[in-house]
Amino acid sequence: MLKMFNNAIVRTPAKSVVDGITTQKLGLPDIELTLVQHKKYIEALEKCGLQVDILPADERFPDGNYVEDVAVLAEKVAIITNPGAESRRQEISNIVTTIEKYFKKIEYIRSPGFLEGGDIMKVGSHFYIGLSTRTNEDGANQLISILKKHGYTGSTVKVSGVLHLKTGMSYMEDGTLLVTGDFLHNKDFLDRFERIIYVSQKEDYAVNCIRLNEFVLMPEGFTETKTKLMEAGYKIVETPMSEFQKMDGGLTCLSLRF
């Protein structure tokens, strides 16, 4: 199949990662293990054919390694977001210079609109925007207007029971949707996809996978979901994510891919 992604941007976790935002009750991350797992994540991206731009840690931002939330990338434009979590809003100043290396056209989400990249799922030239505690209608409407200006479309999806849209679903770039939780009951939405792979509640963390060229990158240790993906014909690359899971972080959160 055609290569879909060539590049990724990541940021090394800071020691202050233990002070990040989380809704989980899994304990604090071990910083040394976090760094080991982040290195393995980079190696997994490289195995999937991506060149990885590694930004340095910034102790000012405990959640700064979750770079996906501060930008939305399309072929024709990059949109710098305005995170819904107030403690993360200054992170955008840290990413713009890097984005400018790769994108000529850059747009911005402005207050009172809030939007985080974890709520954005790109399906072809259409962007689904999750309305969550981190992304509001104003932010979504701003993004839809920006997308329209550059030849894309967008629509909103109500998020419940999870942090971000992509905490409950992932698109496999071929008409297939991985889905779990409350989204299982949204038949009108699910009917838009050619194939649905259901992820069980006990493995719901594994719904946050990434289709990267000929591979699917998934968190390590979720055998039921791995089996379903393999039976669906996907080549799997696994990487350990236990320390990021403690801080509400998923695979998609850790990189910007384009």
Active centre residues (catalytic): 164, 253
CA torsion angle 206 212 214 217 (round to 10): -30
CA distance 94 to 87: 14
DSSP-assigned letters across all residues of 144-196: HHHHHHTT-EEEEEE--SSSSGGGTEEE-SSSEEEE-GGGGG-HHHHTTSSEE
CA distance 45 to 43: 5
Q: φ, ψ for residue 12 (rounded to 5)?
A: -60, 130
